[in-house]
Structure 1
Amino acid sequence: MRVAVCQLNARDDRAENLKAARNLLQRAADGGADIAVLPEYVDYLGRAHTAPAPESVDGEFGTFFADAARELGMWVHAGSFHETGPDPEHTYNTTLVFDRSGALAATYRKIHLYDVEIPGRVSYRESATVAPGAATSSVDVERIRLGLSICYDLRFPELYRQLAIDGATVLVVPAAFMLHTGRDHWEVLLRARAIENQCYVLAAGQIGNHDPDRTCFGRSMVVDPWGTVIAQAPDIPGVTFAELDLERLAEIRETLPSLANRRL
């Protein structure tokens, strides 16, 4: 299976962000991808007071990417967007996955919220405006089973272990990983999740500066079940391709059966 991870610099112009995302999807399809993955908050990454109103799964955002999947004949993992939440003060941070016909195949709401206070460096409380999801989610994408997550989820290995127990062979991480943590942790965590769960990992990140005064690390990549980075994006928006070798995945799980040997 040929996969594409799409890296972009979403800012505070939703129309331009969606246009850029659609162009990346076109490049992914032109490159023969079976599935393309976009980053977290693909449609808007800017100041909260100018953010677009949250919407339902079948709203403008969902329709836009459903149309793209159908027109391109490709599976589309639409990163994430602000879905209408449980109350007026909170949205959900939600992933949508569309099949080749444009039908909605899976939904996942981010479980772990980024509440971090690093004096002099970052102060951020995602939970102030975003409600946590309550359930894991995976979906069969032709020959693979895709396990879904979003950004800060990456730091919680129990989520990925559950996805692997549920049959996932590929783990997906759309993200807007901050520069100061991404430099030290992004690749290490992605490779760890791949190794411990003997899965491919597809990680699509935001890159560059975003309003207000936020810089994302980028370095979108594909990691194989041995923990080897088999494709990595340069530090610019673009599309990075990789081939998933399902025979290699089966061989790794057979010759080093750590997943099968677990007791908890």
Structure 2
Amino acid sequence: MKTALLQITSSDDPVANLDMVRAMMTEAAGQGAQFILTPEVTNCVSNSTTRQQQVLQHEEDDITLAGLREQAAALGVWLLIGSLGIKTHDADGRFANRSYMIDPQGQIVARYDKIHMFDVQVTETETFRESANYRPGSQAVVAETDFGKIGLTICYDVRFPYLHAALAQAGARILTAPAAFSPVTGAAHWESLLRARAIETGCWVIAPAQTGAHPKTRGKTRHTHGHSLVVAPWGEVLIDAGTDPGIHFFDLDDSSVTEARRRVPSLTHVRPFEGP
């Protein structure tokens, strides 16, 4: 299955971002892609809570979700919207960081709210408190598609092997890891973590990422690592997208999952234990 991974530099303007992604989807489908994936927070990258409150919308009103569903249907492709920042009706006003699997008719077949919040102090000057603005999800999700089961994760989730193991044990043969990764942690850990998750589960791991310096109307400029990756089930990196925005193609072959799991059937060797 010809698959297209989009590496983008979203601004804090959802309208401009939607136009950009729609154009890239058209190009990807024109070159034969049947499955297209976008990064985390496709609709808005911003360090400003005020700006997020201005431009983010509830799911039923979100222009990015509606526009990309329409585009998927027009092109007849499967689409993973890596995630969108979505307003919720929670009393504390926090957003959801939500991934969507869209079928070729434009229907939502799965939603996943990011479980693990990026609350870290990367350096003395770079601190993130994702939970201040986003509320964590609590439900792991495997999406059913006509080309296999896909386990949905987002960004910081990559550091939690038990989530990926649970998805694989629930039947996932592909894991998605859309991200807006910090350049500091990205340089240190991004590739190693993604390769480990593929090797541990015998799954494809597809990680479309935001990249570069993100245009903004207010707040500090945010920078992301880029280097969208595609990792095969045996752990080989098939694509490293570098740091430029663009479209990257590869063939998604389910037989490589079967072969990796035949060679090292670790998912069948899981044992309960007491401890420590």
TM band (smaller chain): over 0.9
* C-alpha deviation, 1:218, in angstroms: 0.6
Match of 1:235 among 229, 240, 243: 243
Q: Distance in 2 between matches of 1:171 and 1:189?
A: 13
SS at match of 1:78: strand
Q: Distance in 2 between matches of 1:194 and 1:113?
A: 22
Q: Distance in 1 between matches of 2:207 and 2:108?
A: 21
Query: Mean alpha-carbon deviation: is it higher for 93-102 or for 16-25?
Result: 16-25
* C-alpha deviation, 1:213, in angstroms: 2.9
Structure 2 unaligned regions, length at least 5: none
2:49 alignment counterpart: 48
1:12 alignment counterpart: 12
Structure 1 unaligned regions, length at least 5: none
Within a 5 Å distance, the mapping from 1:1-264 to structure 2 comes to 1-46=1-46, 47-51=48-52, 52-57=55-60, 59-85=62-88, 86-210=90-214, 211=216, 212-264=220-272
Q: Do the aligned partners of 1:7 and 1:205 also contact (CA within 8 Å) in 2?
A: yes
SS at match of 1:154: helix
Q: Distance in 2 between matches of 1:147 and 1:6?
A: 19
SS at match of 2:167: helix
- Matched letter for residue 4 of structure 2: A
So what's the TM-score if we normalise by structure 2? Answer: 0.92
Q: Do the aligned partners of 1:221 and 1:240 also contact (CA within 8 Å) in 2?
A: no
Q: Do the aligned partners of 1:7 and 1:238 also contact (CA within 8 Å) in 2?
A: yes
SS at match of 2:233: coil
- Matched letter for residue 24 of structure 2: L
Distance 1:31 1:87, change over 3 A: farther
* C-alpha deviation, 1:119, in angstroms: 4.5
Q: Do the aligned partners of 2:195 and 2:237 also contact (CA within 8 Å) in 1?
A: yes
Distance 1:185 1:119, change over 3 A: closer
SS at match of 1:174: coil
* C-alpha deviation, 1:12, in angstroms: 1.8
SS at match of 2:177: strand
SS at match of 2:186: helix
Over the matched positions of the two proteins, sequence identity in percent amounts to 36
* Count of aligned residue pairs for this structure pair: 264
Q: Do the aligned partners of 1:36 and 1:75 also contact (CA within 8 Å) in 2?
A: yes
So what's the TM-score if we normalise by structure 1? Answer: 0.96
Q: Distance in 2 between matches of 1:252 and 1:119?
A: 38
Q: Do the aligned partners of 2:43 and 2:85 also contact (CA within 8 Å) in 1?
A: no
- Matched letter for residue 49 of structure 1: T
* C-alpha deviation, 1:60, in angstroms: 2.2
Q: Do the aligned partners of 1:57 and 1:83 also contact (CA within 8 Å) in 2?
A: no
Q: Show structure 1 runs of 4+ deviating over 4 A.
A: none
* C-alpha deviation, 1:202, in angstroms: 0.5
* C-alpha deviation, 1:84, in angstroms: 2.5
Distance 1:216 1:144, change over 3 A: same
* C-alpha deviation, 1:129, in angstroms: 1.0
1:102-154, Cα deviation, whole Å (9 max, x unpaired): 01111000000010124423111111111110100111221211100111111
Distance 1:57 1:155, change over 3 A: farther
